[in-house]
Structure formats: structure tokens, C-alpha cells
Structure 1
Amino acid sequence: MHRGLIHGISTELPMAEHRACARHIYSNLKKNHKADMLKPLFWRVASSYNSGDYKENLAIFKEFDAQACQALLQKDPTTWCRAFFRVGCCCADTHNNHTESYNRTLKIARRKPFVQMLELIRRDAMQRVANRSTIAEKETAKFTKKARTEVQKSCEGAQYCAMVRTTGGEYEIVEFGMGYAVSLSGRTCACRMWDLTGIPCRHAICAIREMNFEVEDYISDYYLTAKWQETYRRGLKPVNGSKFWPDSGRPRIAAPPFKRPAGRPKGKARIKGLNESPRKKKSETKVGREGRIVHCGLCGEAGHNSRKCPHESPESRAKRLKQNDIPQLEAQDQAEMEAAFAAMEQAPPETQPEVQDVSSSAPQISFINRILFG
């Protein structure tokens, strides 16, 4: 949605690969296309590792909803589909969940003043690096847990593959009648999963096993435990408090004048996207509004309410709008006030009895009259 980022990346970083978050691409697509089946079909397209799978999954998507497919292709697929990602970085992510987790940690920090906000962010980052360093130091295997998990999945899928050997260190792996060219020396496979992730795919695992090689020798060095430990070994250094900071001698920066905005406060939480958070579990005792059909209170037909009833006459609509101009509470108060005045006019005036002070210390009436009139 921010076209300035696309222009800025292409201008300032022309050699850098710019990827777009596929989850946000789907959120924008979901605004105008509400079908529930679009989500799994979209992620099949975005997760395609090669051009063959991309064309096949895109054809299925187009057959289901041609208009949604046309709207989807308006976004450059080279930025959100794995089939067009550049190889070499050993990262096949199609989303930016790492930045979303960072935004989650800023929920408390964004409520603070500027300096306190930066200090809280720095301390949170320092604590996070320390925690991950502790976890990495406890790892004893040669490769990280993520790499071992992916290799285990590939080994399970390799049982459905068969190898056809050729010369030059290349092999053809047949899986359900489809051939895939694998090069162990170049560490490439036609499915491109090995090329993008750096972890051998099921086709490569089949060739490695048939040649009696070790699978760990073909995993990228990016997944070494030593690399992981070195990443978090040098954490952030602690910083002394504000009373230890040198005084610059310049005037202090005052906070801008605060003016309460109109409307209900929205809070400090970040506004989430349409499909960002999973829906909460529906209550078993309350009936939701989803699927409810609106009926008009005037004509009784479905599809509209009494405010936009097409069968209401202009005279009736004008009369109803005039009645709605006066608040109900104000009309009720006015009616009660008129009833009270009418009751006071009909009731006879009551004579209040004279109240005499009978206390011993109060002066008597005869004594006061003698002093005033002699």
C-alpha cells in the first residue's frame, strides 16, 4: 500500500532484492473478494518454489475466481512468490512476521515519552539477545533445530522418489512420474527448494542416500550451530542512567502542547489489519450477528432497515425525521414538567402554620415590641 517504499528501494538500493509480505497482499485482496477458499489457493500460489508449480496453482486460482486472479496479478509476483525469489540468501520467507513480533513488543513502549520509549526498546532488545544467546549455547548438535526438522521432513518424502543415474555428478529423480534434475556438486534441484533454503529437498535426499553420502555435508553453513551462537554472542552493552549523562548546556526540549482529539480514545495499541489476527472463539451462549438477515420494521421485507425503506412515503419520512430531531429524554422531561405545572395550578394554596421559637434563650415577642415601639 506504500508505493514510496517501492520507489525508494529501487532508487536507493537498486541491487537489493525487495520482497513484499504475502500476508498483506492477501489482506488487500480480501477486501473486495470474500470467498473463504481464496486463502488456501492464494498461499499455494505464493508458496510455489518453481515456475511450473506457479503456473499450475495460478491456473487453479484463476478457475475459481478470475476477477480475484486479475486483481492479484496487478501486484508484481516477483516480490511475493517463491518461484521468482533470488537464490543465495538461504531464506524462502514470504512474510515479515519478524517485524510483526517487533511491533508487538512496542505496545508498552509506544505509550512512553520519547527518551523513555527508546530506553525501553533498547532494554527489550538487549534482554531478547541475551535470552537467545542462552538458548543457542545449550545446543550441542552440529546444525540448528530448524535445519534438522526440515531434513527430517525431506527424508520422509524421499521414500516416494527413485533415482536415475547419469554422468557428471547429475541425477534424475522421479517422483510420481515427474522428473527432477539434481546436481549434488552444484547443490541445485529443479524444484528450487534446495536452492532457496539451503537445506536438501526430498529429491536431493534421495540422490544423497543412493550414493551413500552424508546428508549433513550438503546443508548450508548458515544453519551451523556455531554460526547461530556467534550471532547472539555479542549482545548489546548496558547503558548508565540519565543522571550519568553529560550536560550539553543547551535548553531542554519541552513537550508539545497537548490537545485532546475529538471522539472516543483509540488507545495506544496498534491498529491491526483485516486478516492479521485469528478470530476469537465464539461464545456458546451469545448469538453472533454473522449470517443474520436484516428486516425492515415498516414493510417487513429483508435486505434493508426502516431508515432506507423504499416503500415509505415522503410525508411519513419527513414526519419521522422531525420526531427524531428531539431527543427522547428531552421530550420526557418536558412532558413531566408540564404535568407538574398543571397539578400545581389545580391544587388549592396551602396555609403554612406559623413557626414559633420556643427555646429558652430566644427573645420573646412582647420584649422585642417594647424595645422597638416603646
Structure 2
Amino acid sequence: MVTATMIAQHFEATIKDYPKMKLREIQRRCASEMHVNVTIDCCYRAKKIVKEKMAGNHKEEFGLLWDYAHKLRSKMPGNTIKMAVQRGLDIAISDILPRVEHRNCARHVFANWSRRKLWKSFECDFWQIAKCTTEREWEDLCSALEKKDKDAYDNLMKKSPKMWTRAFLGTTCKSDIVDNNLCEASNSSIVEARFKSIIKMLEDIRTKMMTRIVQKRKLCNGWKQNYGLLVKAKFDANKKDCVEWQLIWNGENGCELRKGSYQYTVNLSQRICSCRRWQIIGIPCSHTCAAMYHLWIQPDEYLHEYYHIDMYKKAYSFPMQPINGPHDWEKTVIQPVLPPIERKMLRRPKKNRRMAKDEPKKLKPGLE
């Protein structure tokens, strides 16, 4: 007779690697691997046995954190450890590093702003304000919003526009990103690891990063240009749009571009376009491409060096070194770290992301 203890012993390693493994999956594997039919209750008890054992190892793994950190430092000297911080980051940065540019996620700014009233109808106006690249355009869009709803405009201006609007972004880092999608994508890749114990979680993240660096190195070997495919897509779009602009050249490095009521100036020697897109992102805009083609210059020559393949390889030129298991870690004399106190809340814990009130709910397949 197969008991829950026997099932727990058989699937212990699997459940530790996949803590979110469904009971139906355990039941199916019992039939295919152990050739027995078991009930869902038996699978539940087996999974509970493994989880209790994992909880017992929880304190032991926290006690190994200093040994683990020492091993990482010995293998990869100079590593930086990022600590989680509480609220108040804006004030700390402005006090300690007053000249450092700090950006907020425009999507979260909009979510907090539209939550107060029925300002969801102003979503298009908000994103036009967030993505405009010149101060004059920003002023015109803000004036239009103020005429529509003065209260909505006043509440939006409580959050400094310099932190979430492209019109006020600096030109040093060559990025026009006004959202937090890169961080959100990184967090989504470690969701599964976050359900594991502390050492296993850190090891999963470390090995994932080790593999990612190798993959990124191989990726650039397939580039046909001196830059990546995403940059090429933006570049090609700008080159395609440049044919619509009429050009007037001043005989040196200055050009005047016109299309309908729009007019911009380009200075190739200073690498400046009055639309500011070239300065912000580092990729020649459509106005710049039109000026370069008129002067028989290839726009690729004016792409910022941050996008070059050499800079890409340099970013991934520091591989993560492999380390041995806990059996080979040097014992430190530092007082062990104690695990946080586990607080059991009432009812089943919620693991899904909190959805906004106006966010559409995902339906199961076949119910659309």
C-alpha cells in the first residue's frame, strides 16, 4: 500500500524545485511513475510533508547566508549587493545625490492620478504629455488638459513632470523610457524562484543570470549590422519617415526641415535636432536622417556608441563564476542571520497581482 510518506519521498526533489506543483499533477505522476492510483487527499498530505520539511530547512538556510556571501565574494570579488529599501527614496536621492536624474514610472503615475476621479477618459491626454519631447509641446498639451478639467491638471502637476515626462529627460543615458517595464519583466522571470527557500532562491537567480549572460553573448554574433535588431527597427522607421520632410540647407551643418505646419532644425556637427529625440535616445530621428541623406551621409555613422556591438559585448564581458555546493563553503564566525517570523494569516493566501478596478479580467479559454 502506497502512503503519503512514500509519495513525499519519491517527489521530494521535484516539489522542492516546483513548489507550485498542482495536486492533480502529483496524482498523474503517481500513476505514470509509481504505477498506483492515489486520491487527491493522499497527494495533499504528501505535499504537506515535503513543505514541512522545507520549512525546517528554512532556518538552516538563513544560517548559511554569511557562508554563501563569503563564497560569492571569493569567487567574484568586487560584486555589488543591492539591498531592498523602504519608501522615501526620492528624498534620499535629492539629499545625497542632488544632480542624479531620477525617473518615475509613468504608468504608476497615471494609475495613482486616474484613481482619484473619473479621469480615465484623459488617458490619451496623459500619454501625449508623458511622451512629448519638447517643453513647448508639453506646455501646449498641459494647457489643453487644463481647459478640459482644471482639477485634473492641478492634481497631475503635484507629481514633478521632470520625473516622468520625456520633455524634461536628460541626454546622458540615451534612453527615452518613461515606464518600469524592464524591471517588471525582470521580476516576472524570477517569480517561480521566489516561492523557494532563501538559498535555493538566490541560487536559481544566480544560475539564471549566468545563463543569460552567455545567451546575450551569442545573440550579438548573429547581428548583420553594428547594432541590434530592436535598434534596427527604430532606425528603419526613421529612415522611412524622412522622405516626407522638405529640406533647406544653409551650406554648412545646419538644415531646416518642413512638413505641413511642422518645422525643425538640425545641426549635424553638434548632433542636435530641435525635436530632441536624437539627443534623448541617441538614434538619429527622421529629420536628422533626411538631412544626412541630402548631404550623402549614412545615418548609421551618427548612431550613438552605446548601441554599437562593441559596447554591447562590453556590457556582458563579465561572466559569473561557478561555485561549489554548501558542503564546500567556508564557515564564517559571524552571528547567523535569523529568519523572519512567519505570520499565518486567516484564509488562503492571495498570490495573484491586485488588479485595478477598471482592468478587464482574464477569462478562461472557451469563455470569451
Q: 2:228 matched to 1:144?
A: yes
Instruction: Tell me which amino acid in the other structure corresponds to 2:218.
Output: T
Q: TM-score, length-normalised on structure 1?
A: 0.69
Instruction: Find 2:184's aligned residue among 72, 97, 100.
Output: 100
Q: 2:158 matched to 1:74?
A: yes
Instruction: Find 1:89's aligned residue among 167, 173, 179.
Output: 173
Unaligned runs of 5+ in 1: 287-374
Which residue number corresponds to residue 280 of structure 1? 362
Which residue number corresponds to residue 54 of structure 2? none
Q: Which structure features the higher share of helix residues?
A: 2
Matches within 5 A, 1:131-280: 131-248=215-332, 255=339, 258-267=342-351, 271-272=353-354, 274=356, 279-280=361-362
Which residue number corresponds to residue 52 of structure 1? 136
Indicate how the Cα distance of structure 1 residues 252 and 55 shifts in structure 2: closer, same or farther if over 3 A, else same: closer
State the superposition RMSD in angstroms: 2.5
Say which structure, 1 or 2, has more relative contact order (CA 8 Å, 6+ apart). 2
Rounded to whole Å, the distance in 2 between the matches of 1:275 and 1:185 is 51
* Equivalent residues of 1:27, 1:275 under 8 A apart: no
Which residue number corresponds to residue 125 of structure 1? 209
- SS of match in other structure, 2:195: coil
- SS of match in other structure, 1:173: strand
Indicate how the Cα distance of structure 1 residues 62 and 279 shifts in structure 2: closer, same or farther if over 3 A, else same: farther
Shift in Å at residue 142 of structure 1?
1.5
Shift in Å at residue 252 of structure 1?
5.4
Q: TM-score, length-normalised on structure 2?
A: 0.70
Shift in Å at residue 18 of structure 1?
0.6
Which residue number corresponds to residue 63 of structure 1? 147
Rounded to whole Å, the distance in 1 between the matches of 2:357 and 2:104 is 16
Rounded to whole Å, the distance in 1 between the matches of 2:228 and 2:366 is 43
- SS of match in other structure, 2:263: strand
Rounded to whole Å, the distance in 2 between the matches of 1:58 and 1:203 is 25
Rounded to whole Å, the distance in 1 between the matches of 2:153 and 2:364 is 32
Indicate how the Cα distance of structure 1 residues 46 and 251 shifts in structure 2: closer, same or farther if over 3 A, else same: closer
Percent of paired sites with the same residue? 26
Shift in Å at residue 146 of structure 1?
2.1
Rounded to whole Å, the distance in 1 between the matches of 2:335 and 2:171 is 52
* Equivalent residues of 2:249, 2:255 under 8 A apart: yes
Shift in Å at residue 258 of structure 1?
3.8
Number of matched residues?
283
Rounded to whole Å, the distance in 2 between the matches of 1:50 and 1:131 is 38
Which residue number corresponds to residue 313 of structure 1? none
Which residue number corresponds to residue 20 of structure 2? none
Instruction: Tell me which amino acid in the other structure corresponds to 2:168.
Output: F
Rounded to whole Å, the distance in 2 between the matches of 1:250 and 1:45 is 53
- SS of match in other structure, 2:88: helix
